[in-house]
């Protein structure tokens, strides 16, 4: 008999995350990009310059992780990093012309994941899934912020 914990919503959310991440990485590999690099480019291409500290919070990655991602993107000429005029300790990130050219040539891995994962699924079903997962995530975050991780 299967352990029901392996069939829970949380278990399936984790399995979906890993499978979708693998599809994303496969789509980006030919361009020499990883998933977090894609999300940084997405943010800078669609929203404009961003403070690196704010971007770390938004992407929910550790500052050290983002620093490595940013360093690789800067090294490849895809983004620029400059001191924030308002606070010299902070860094502002901007996509370069080269980065924008690459961005425009990239496939959309999120659209690919959606097309592969949800063929024939009605929008109402997807909307319910998003609503349930958003609420569950918020509840867990609130639980953690109350200081009781147990």
Tokens (6 digits) for 103: 């961005």
Same domain, 25 and 90: yes
Structural domain for 43, as ranges: 4-118
pLDDT score recorded for residue 88: 81
Same domain, 83 and 150: no
Same domain, 131 and 98: no
Domain harbouring 45, CATH code: 1.10.10.10
pTM for the whole structure? 0.84
- Among 32-41, 63-72, 81-90, name the one with the lowest average pLDDT: 81-90
Distant-in-sequence, close-in-space partners of 74: CB < 8 Å, separation ≥ 6: 80, 81
Same domain, 126 and 136: yes
Same domain, 57 and 83: yes
pLDDT in tens, 7-26: 888 888 999 999 999 999 99
Distant-in-sequence, close-in-space partners of 5: CB < 8 Å, separation ≥ 6: 11
pLDDT score recorded for residue 9: 86
Same domain, 70 and 128: no
Same domain, 15 and 73: yes
Same domain, 72 and 143: no
Please answer whether residues 96 and 77 qualify as being in contact, where contact means their C-beta atoms are separated by less than 8 angstroms: yes
Same domain, 112 and 128: no
% pLDDT > 90, the chain: 77
pLDDT score recorded for residue 124: 94
Same domain, 112 and 134: no
pLDDT in tens, 112-125: 999 999 999 999 99
Domain count across the chain: 2
Across the chain, mean pLDDT equals 91
pLDDT at 1 over 60: no
> 117 or 2, which is more confident?
117
pLDDT score recorded for residue 148: 62
Same domain, 73 and 140: no
Q: Which residues pair with 50 in a beta bridge?
A: 93
CB atoms near residue 73 (< 10 Å): 23
pLDDT score recorded for residue 5: 67
pLDDT in tens, 78-102: 999 999 888 888 899 999 999 999 9
Same domain, 8 and 80: yes
């Amino acid at each position: 008999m299967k352990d029901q914990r392996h069939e829970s919503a949380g278990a399936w959310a984790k399995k979906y995350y890993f499978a979708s991440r693998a599809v994303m990485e496969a789509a980006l590999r030919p361009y020499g990009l990883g998933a977090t690099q894609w999300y940084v480019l997405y943010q800078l291409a669609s929203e404009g310059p961003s403070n690196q500290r704010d971007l770390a919070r938004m992407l929910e990655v550790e500052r050290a992780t983002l620093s490595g991602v940013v360093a690789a993107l800067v090294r490849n000429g895809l983004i620029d990093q400059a001191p924030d005029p308002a606070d010299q300790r902070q860094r502002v990130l901007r996509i370069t012309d080269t980065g924008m050219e690459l961005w425009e040539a990239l496939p959309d891995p999120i659209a690919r994941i959606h097309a592969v994962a949800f063929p024939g699924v009605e929008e109402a079903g997807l909307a319910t899934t998003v609503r349930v997962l958003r609420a569950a995530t918020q509840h867990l975050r609130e639980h953690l912020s109350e200081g009781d991780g147990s």
